[in-house]
Amino acid sequence: MKTILKYLKPYYARMLAGFLIKLTGTVIELMIPYILSHVLAEAIRMKISDIVYWGLLMIACSAIACVFNIVANRMAARVSRNFAETLRRDLFIKTLRLSAAQTDKFTVPSLESRITTDTYHVHSFVNMAQRLGVRAPIMLLGGIAITLFMDAYLSLVMIAVLPFTLAIIYFISKKGVPLYTKVQRSADSMIRVVREDSQGIRVIKALSKTDYEHRRYDKVNLSLVRDETRAGVIMGSVNPAMTTIMNMCTVAVIALSVGRVNDGLSRPETVIAFMQYFTQISMAMMAVSRMFVMYTKCAASANRISEVMNEADDVTVKSKADYPDYATDFHIVFDNVDFSYNGNKNNVENISFALSKGSSLGIIGATGSGKSTVIKLLLRFYDVCKGHIYISGEDIRTIDKKRFYAMFGSALQHDFLYADTIEENICFGRNLSHEQVAAAARIAQADDFITSFSEGYRHVLSQHGTNISGGQKQRLLISRAIAANPDIIILDDSSSALDYKTDASLRMALKQNLKDTTLITVAQRVSSVKDCDCIIVMDKGRIIALGTHDELMAKCNEYREISDSQMGGAFVE
């Protein structure tokens, strides 16, 4: 909850003002039964004008209490709204800044749940705490204080049960945090399945696996229902228990008050006022119990939010004293790099190569050979376990992140397009001119199909670009990668949907227009890398061969087999 309190700190003054307004309204509301008892006690001796006066006073007290409560509630709503907006924004920003390893640890569905459901639970509790957090305790304590003054004997009945009610609230609420934490984890699993199915809906329909996905969804949905039911039953037992205790107290008070009135120890008007106070106290106790139930949800969600917000940055800028510069004329250098995702077995091992500025590198190999892992290490999505990666002689761990990522333009395997215009998808919020966007599209062989749309570059794409073909989507992603004229362009399996002729035209355009840019191409097809200055062949996380296309055809059996199997040794130029 420390994280939540930190975000509430800027609103303390506004919350205090709301609390004072709510306090004033509640105290005035507590006076109404007392005024009523006075009117009943003195009614016989009062004039009509006096009765009207006291009646108007009661109406005024009700009106003032109502207005004060409305004002305080509106202030509470604004505070909770603004607080939640800031919390969601910072949580979203923190989520975007998590490293790849941290995102893997939390999982994307869980992060989505924390930004949406968990922040909603916290928002609801903060709102309720401001509305009932003052009124309920004041109503409870103030009501008890006034009833002690009016008839201490009857008040003792109510005071006697308070420890039992507080004990029930405490012990049941204590179970709430782990219960609702489990509920949120089940919600994460359900969101994961929904996310997977929504992204793969076309594949599911094409393979007639709708029933299978229904069963898979039902499994996680039923698990969530079971966890919610268990949490709901246990936490919901607070209200029935409280209602039973308060009703028993009501019966006890009525029974005792009959004898006291008959014995002349109390008066009927006192009992009437007392019962009104008792009703207010009962409602206050019920409100307190609801707050504790909401608190358990809030605490569970706040812990999940804090886990993300307090996650230390594991990809930090290191000191050059620890990772000194390396004297070299090469633009990119991999020096004996090892890396493991799980810390047990290396996924890539002994990766060493060097690239001059403006040169091109092709990386080819079987699925799972470590091609994309090399790219992730170069982009510093993960830090190497051993060795060094240098750009212009600087270890990438010592380069400021903003300057570092500005060096790159990338079109990765699972890149995305969002629901906006083609121009904005290429521009990607970088304030590029239309001329830059169009020039990039021409190089990426995308301009022809873009201008074939009646809206041209203003044509709106659907989410994930489902209203264009796979090849068109890849050309837009390549356009985005090269639009800002970066120092290094990475194309990771980004031309697999292109026909050979378009692929060849793309490679030719990249070579002619980006002469000073270092180009790294990861591909399954030999035709996509054959013109590169250097080609790396990878297998099982290692470099098994390195050289030009002709050199590899002569000395690397694996490369030659790939080439022959794809094109029979011939290529479309």
Please list, residue by residue across 22-37, b when 16 or more beta carbons sit within 10 angstroms of its beta carbon and e when fewer do.
bbbbbebbbebbbebb
- pTM, to two decimals: 0.72
State residue 174's pLDDT score: 72
Structural domain contains residue 201:
no
State residue 333's pLDDT score: 94
Token duo for residue 195: 């996310």
d(CA 513, CA 438): 14
Residue 111 backbone dihedrals phi, psi, to 5 degrees: -65, -40
Categorize the per-residue pLDDT at 568 as very low, low, confident or very high, splitting at 50, 70 and 90.
low
Q: Are residues 293 and 172 part of one domain?
A: yes
Q: Are residues 96 and 181 part of one domain?
A: yes
Structural domain contains residue 66:
yes
> In which domain, by residue range, is 170 found?
2-185+238-309
Structural domain contains residue 216:
no
Q: Are residues 373 and 423 part of one domain?
A: no
Q: What is the DSSP string of 95-136?
A: HHHS-HHHHHHH-HHHHHHIIIIIHHHHHHHHHHHHHHTTHH
Identify which has the larger pLDDT, 104 or 568.
Answer: 104
Tens-digit pLDDT profile for residues 383-400? 899 999 999 999 999 999
Partners of 534 in the β-ladder? 361
Categorize the per-residue pLDDT at 332 as very low, low, confident or very high, splitting at 50, 70 and 90.
very high
Task: Please give the radius of gyration of the chain, using alpha carbons only, rounded to the nearest integer.
Answer: 35
Q: Are residues 450 and 335 part of one domain?
A: no
One-letter amino acid at 31 equals: M
Average pLDDT, the chain: 83
Structural domain contains residue 512:
no
Q: Are residues 400 and 428 part of one domain?
A: no
Structural domain contains residue 165:
yes
Tens-digit pLDDT profile for residues 478-488? 999 999 889 99
State residue 569's pLDDT score: 47
Structural domain contains residue 49:
yes
CATH of the domain at 424: 3.40.50.300
Structural domain contains residue 15:
yes
d(CA 254, CA 289): 24
d(CA 350, CA 346): 10
State residue 363's pLDDT score: 92
Non-local CB neighbours of 58 within 8 Å, separated by 6+ positions: 32, 35, 36
Per the CB < 8 A criterion, the answer to whether 326 and 390 are in contact is: yes
Q: Are residues 390 and 286 part of one domain?
A: no
State residue 567's pLDDT score: 62
State residue 348's pLDDT score: 92
Residue 491 backbone dihedrals phi, psi, to 5 degrees: -120, 100
Q: Are residues 271 and 126 part of one domain?
A: yes
State residue 520's pLDDT score: 92
d(CA 127, CA 83): 10
* Mean pLDDT for the stretch of residues 87-113: 87
Partners of 354 in the β-ladder? 333
State residue 572's pLDDT score: 42
* Mean pLDDT for the stretch of residues 260-288: 73
CATH of the domain at 147: 1.20.1560.10
Structural domain contains residue 337:
yes
Categorize the per-residue pLDDT at 279 as very low, low, confident or very high, splitting at 50, 70 and 90.
confident
The answer on pLDDT for 361 being more than 90 is: yes
The answer on pLDDT for 240 being more than 80 is: no
Domain count, the chain: 3
State residue 43's pLDDT score: 60
The answer on pLDDT for 540 being more than 50 is: yes
State residue 393's pLDDT score: 92
H helix runs in 263-343, sequence order: 268-309
Q: Are residues 540 and 431 part of one domain?
A: no
State the DSSP code for 317.
P
Q: Which of 249, 274, 309 is the last residue of a domain?
A: 309
d(CA 290, CA 276): 21
d(CA 262, CA 271): 12
The answer on pLDDT for 215 being more than 90 is: no
d(CA 372, CA 368): 9
d(CA 117, CA 123): 10
Tens-digit pLDDT profile for residues 42-88? 665 667 777 788 888 888 888 988 898 889 888 888 998 999 999 99
Task: For residue 254, give Cα distances in angstroms to 157, 158, 247, 268, 470.
Answer: 11, 12, 11, 11, 78
Q: Which of 462, 485, 508 is the last residue of a domain?
A: 485
Q: What is the DSSP string of 134-172?
A: THHHHHHHHHHHHHHHH-HHHHHHHHHHHHHHHHHHHHH
Q: Which of 277, 309, 341 is the last residue of a domain?
A: 309
The answer on pLDDT for 307 being more than 80 is: yes
* DSSP SS3 for 499: coil
State residue 352's pLDDT score: 93
Q: For the chain, what's the residue count?
A: 573
Q: Are residues 122 and 59 part of one domain?
A: yes
Non-local CB neighbours of 514 within 8 Å, separated by 6+ positions: 443, 482, 485, 489
- How large a percentage of the chain has pLDDT more than 90? 20
Q: Are residues 359 and 274 part of one domain?
A: no
Q: Are residues 289 and 169 part of one domain?
A: yes
Q: Are residues 418 and 403 part of one domain?
A: no
